[in-house]
Every structure is written in structure tokens, then in C-alpha cells.
């Protein structure tokens, strides 16, 4: 008798491969999903009685394909396929299918599946929701809880996303080498969006916080099928390093703890060690990218036993390189924080003030600006910056953190929403 927990894990691991292959075969997302679900239901029954197959993905593809064909024929009022007992012994057929579905097919299937979920026609929230539903297999209820919306609202969001994909006419043919490179960058961005959704939620929303683990799992899948891509290594390393600090990011009351105040004994050294090895391997390819640079910055923090041991000079240089590769006011804002550690708050403030028009609606801009103004004794201006940050806060923890800064200035402030 096979442990049900193992079956669930095997189904989750095989899902991207199997669903991607079924999507290529049926060229219809709903049909592929239904076929995979039917195959999964049969797997729970069959694997418990007969044990696991040699290749779970190939088994699911074979059973799902036949199930899908059966449903199509029934819908077309044709004769149904033979009963299940006619093809329940899948050993030979499964082995044949596993041999014919080579690595290139698997790679393109998974990439296509992920690419569909992050189609540029879809808003960010729909990309994340669709990826969690299609690629990760989370239920609509789970995703709805993470986004703090009702089940019906999330169901409509996912349905609209699917409709946009169909309308966009996403091609199902295997992508060329150049197309694969573009798709890989888009898929990496989508995975990082999933991670940030969970990272931003913190402990305020445990359902959403679990997205960090799921994003790391998706990055590991990409890494298995693109083992020589340094930016995929950089992405995985970056998320592992950021996630390693999860237990130190909030105190016992759920309030934000700044990086310099972290109890570094709470950092997950196993994740850090894995990330550093992966980052070193990526750097040896000598093809630097934005994820590698961000991971390198996080690695410098991870290697510092104490905040005062941080190599801020190297961090400033890495942010400058990142600005060259990916110009962004947010990157410049982060460089300003590093500059404040190296040259003092006034030098950083001069850099921050140039970003005002572009980042006026950004919570962290006003938080950083307020902190720098407070350090330079411009208390009244700091108070205004903090008030603006409170108005833009995304979570109660962010709001409370800013209010604590305002308390240091004295005076009253309104309650957090």
C-alpha cells in the first residue's frame, strides 16, 4: 500500500510535465486540465493498489490522453473508448511513452505551460493566479484565501485569464532557440512575481506566504530542464537567500524587523549554503544578469556575520552594475540605501530626491526618504514623508513600522487601516 502523502507529492512533481504534454496534445487548456485531473484520480486508486509506476509523468500522460480522447468522443457522440480494464496494465505502454517523450519535448512542454500563464496580455494578478492554478495545481479556494477575495471572484479571475489566453492565440508548436530564450526570461519574471506575492505578505497572510515555497519549487523545475542557464541559477539563488531570512523578518508581535536588526541566528543556513553554491556556479558562466546581481547583493548580506561586517562598497558597485543592465528608479533607491551606509544620509538623500516624480506612489520611497530626513535632523519634512508612507502602506505591519518612526519624531498620527 503506497502512502497517500507520497502519491500527492508525486502528482505535484509530475504535474508540469504531464499537463504540459497534454496541453500540446489537445491544444486546449480546459481539456488538458480535465484529462490530468481524471488521470490523477485514477492514480490515487491504482498506485495505492499496485505501487508507483516507473515514470509517474509518463503514466499520467498516457492515462490522461486516453481519458481526454474518451471525453471528446463522448461529446461528439462517437463510440467511447474501451473500458479502463482493457488498458489498466500500463507497464509496456508507459515505458514506450517514456522513451518517446525525450528531454526536449518535456522542456518545451513545461516552458510552454508556464509561458501561457505569464502571457503579456494578462495583468500581473491574473498571471500569478493562473500559474498557481495551472502549473502548481492549487485549488481556487486556496488561491482566493491568499489574495483575500471570495472563491467566486477568484474563479472569475482565472476564467477571464484563460479566455484572454485563448483570444491571444498562443502557439503550441515547439519554440525556436531564440523564442525559448525570450520565454525563459518571461517565465522567470512570473516565478519571481509569485515569490514576491508571498514575501510581501509575510506572516500577515499565511496562505499567501506559502507562495515563496511554491516559487522556489517552480524555479527548481526550471533549473532541472535548463541546468546550464546562469540566470535561472541566479533566480533560484536569489529566492533562496531572501527566503532564508523568513524567521527573522518579523518579531513575536508580527511587526517588521529591519535587516540590520535581524537575529542572524534565525537565518536558515542550509538554504544560504545551497544558494551560495548555486550563485558561484552561475557566476562562472560569465554571463551576468539581473537575478545574478541581485543574488550577489543578497549573498553579501548572508556572508556578513554582523551588520557592521557588510561590504557596502561592493553592494554599491553591484547596484551600479544592476542600473546599467536594468535601469530602474527602484534599483536607484536601493543603491541610495547602500550609499547611506557608506557615505552618510546626506549623500543618499541627494540621490533619493531625484527619484520623487517616478516613485511618489511607492511606499518604500517615502519610508526611506523619511528615515534619511530624520537622520539629517529635518524632522518636519521627515514627518510629512512618513505620513505619505502610512497612506501607501500595503499591510498593517508596514503601517505600524512607519508609525514607530513617527513616534520617534513626537506628535500624533492616525491609526493604521
**Contact between 292 and 231 (Cβ < 8 Å):** yes
Give all domains of the chain, ordered by start, each with its CATH number. 4-101 (no CATH), 106-325 (no CATH), 326-417 (1.25.40.10)
Q: For residues 255 and 374, which has the higher predicted lDDT (pLDDT)?
A: 374
Alpha-carbon torsion, ordered 392, 394, 400, 401, to 10 deg: -80
Enter the C-alpha cell of residue 240. Answer: 533562496
Q: How much of the chain exceeds pLDDT 90, in percent?
A: 52
The region that residue 169 occupies, defined by phi over 0 for left and psi between -120 and 50 for alpha, beta otherwise, is: left
**DSSP bridge partners of 256:** 250
**DSSP bridge partners of 250:** 256
Say whether pLDDT at 91 is over 60.
no
pLDDT band of residue 152 (cuts 50, 70, 90) is: very high
- DSSP-assigned letters across all residues of 339-368: HHHHH-HHHHHHHHHTTHHHHTT-HHHHHH
Question: pLDDT of 369-415, one tens digit each?
Answer: 999 999 999 999 999 999 999 999 878 888 888 988 888 887 555 55
Q: Among 111-115, 159-163, 334-338, which range has the highest average pLDDT?
A: 334-338
Alpha-carbon span 27 to 170, nearest angstrom: 10
Which residue, chain included where needed, has cell 508580527? 254
**Cα–Cα separations (whole angstroms), residue 315 to 236, 291, 318:** 20, 14, 5
Q: Please give the average per-residue pLDDT across 45-60, as a whole number.
A: 89
Enter the C-alpha cell of residue 17. Answer: 510535465
Alpha-carbon span 383 to 403, nearest angstrom: 10
Alpha-carbon span 198 to 193, nearest angstrom: 9
DSSP for residue 250: B
Q: For residues 307 and 29, which has the higher predicted lDDT (pLDDT)?
A: 307
Q: For residues 291 and 254, which has the higher predicted lDDT (pLDDT)?
A: 291
pLDDT band of residue 416 (cuts 50, 70, 90) is: low
pLDDT band of residue 182 (cuts 50, 70, 90) is: confident
Quick count: other Cβ atoms within 10 Å of Cβ 320? Answer: 14
Q: For residues 303 and 14, which has the higher predicted lDDT (pLDDT)?
A: 303
Q: Which are the contacts of 354, defined by CB distance < 8 A and separation ≥ 6?
A: 332
Question: pLDDT of 291-347, one tens digit each?
Answer: 999 999 999 999 999 999 999 999 999 999 999 999 999 999 999 999 999 999 999
Nearest to 288, CA basis, from 319, 327, 322, 334: 322
pTM of this structure:
0.81
Say whether pLDDT at 136 is over 90.
no
pLDDT given for residue 400 in this prediction: 87
Alpha-carbon span 211 to 215, nearest angstrom: 6
Amino acid at each position: 500500500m503506497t502512502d497517500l502523502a507520497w502519491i500527492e507529492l508525486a502528482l505535484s512533481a509530475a504535474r508540469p510535465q504531464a499537463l504540459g504534454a497534454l496541453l500540446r496534445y489537445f491544444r486546449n487548456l480546459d481539456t488538458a486540465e480535465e484529462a490530468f485531473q481524471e488521470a490523477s484520480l485514477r492514480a490515487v486508486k491504482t498506485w495505492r493498489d499496485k505501487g508507483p509506476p516507473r515514470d509517474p509523468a509518463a503514466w499520467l500522460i498516457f492515462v490522461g490522453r486516453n481519458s481526454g480522447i474518451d471525453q471528446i468522443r463522448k461529446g461528439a457522440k462517437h463510440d467511447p473508448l474501451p473500458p479502463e480494464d482493457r488498458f489498466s496494465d500500463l507497464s509496456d505502454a508507459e515505458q514506450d511513452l517514456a522513451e518517446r517523450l525525450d528531454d526536449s519535448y518535456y522542456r518545451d512542454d513545461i516552458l510552454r505551460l508556464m509561458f501561457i500563464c505569464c502571457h503579456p496580455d494578462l495583468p500581473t494578478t491574473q498571471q500569478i493566479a493562473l500559474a498557481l492554478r495551472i502549473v502548481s495545481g492549487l485549488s481556487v479556494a486556496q488561491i482566493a484565501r491568499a489574495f483575500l477575495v471570495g472563491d467566486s471572484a477568484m474563479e472569475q479571475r482565472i476564467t477571464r485569464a484563460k479566455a484572454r489566453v485563448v483570444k491571444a492565440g498562443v502557439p503550441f508548436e515547439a519554440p525556436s532557440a531564440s523564442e525559448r530564450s525570450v520565454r525563459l526570461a518571461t517565465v522567470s519574471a512570473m516565478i519571481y512575481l509569485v515569490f514576491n506575492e508571498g514575501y510581501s505578505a509575510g506572516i500577515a497572510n499565511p496562505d499567501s506566504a506559502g507562495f515563496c515555497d511554491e516559487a522556489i519549487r517552480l524555479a527548481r523545475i526550471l533549473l532541472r530542464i535548463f541546468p546550464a542557464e546562469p540566470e535561472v541559477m541566479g533566480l533560484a539563488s536569489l529566492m533562496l537567500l531572501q527566503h532564508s531570512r523568513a524567521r527573522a523578518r518579523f518579531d513575536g508581535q508580527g511587526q517588521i524587523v529591519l535587516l540590520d536588526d535581524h537575529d542572524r541566528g534565525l537565518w536558515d543556513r542550509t538554504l544560504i549554503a545551497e544558494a551560495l553554491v548555486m550563485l558561484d556556479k552561475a557566476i562562472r558562466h560569465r554571463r551576468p544578469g539581473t537575478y545574478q546581481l541581485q543574488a550577489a547583493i543578497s549573498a553579501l548580506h548572508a556572508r556578513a556575520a554582523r551588520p557592521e561586517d557588510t561590504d557596502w562598497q561592493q553592494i554599491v558597485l553591484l547596484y551600479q552594475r544592476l542600473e546599467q543592465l536594468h535601469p530602474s528608479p527602484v534599483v536607484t533607491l536601493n543603491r541610495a540605501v547602500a550609499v547611506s551606509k557608506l557615505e552618510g544620509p546626506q549623500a543618499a538623500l541627494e540621490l533619493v530626491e531625484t527619484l520623487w516624480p517616478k516613485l511618489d506612489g511607492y511606499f518604500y520611497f517615502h519610508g526611506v526618504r523619511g528615515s534619511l530626513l530624520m537622520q539629517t535632523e529635518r524632522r518636519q519634512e521627515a514627518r510629512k514623508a512618513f505620513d505619505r508612507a502610512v497612506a501607501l502602506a500595503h499591510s498593517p505591519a508596514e503601517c505600524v513600522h512607519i508609525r514607530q518612526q513617527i513616534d520617534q519624531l513626537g506628535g500624533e498620527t492616525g491609526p493604521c487601516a
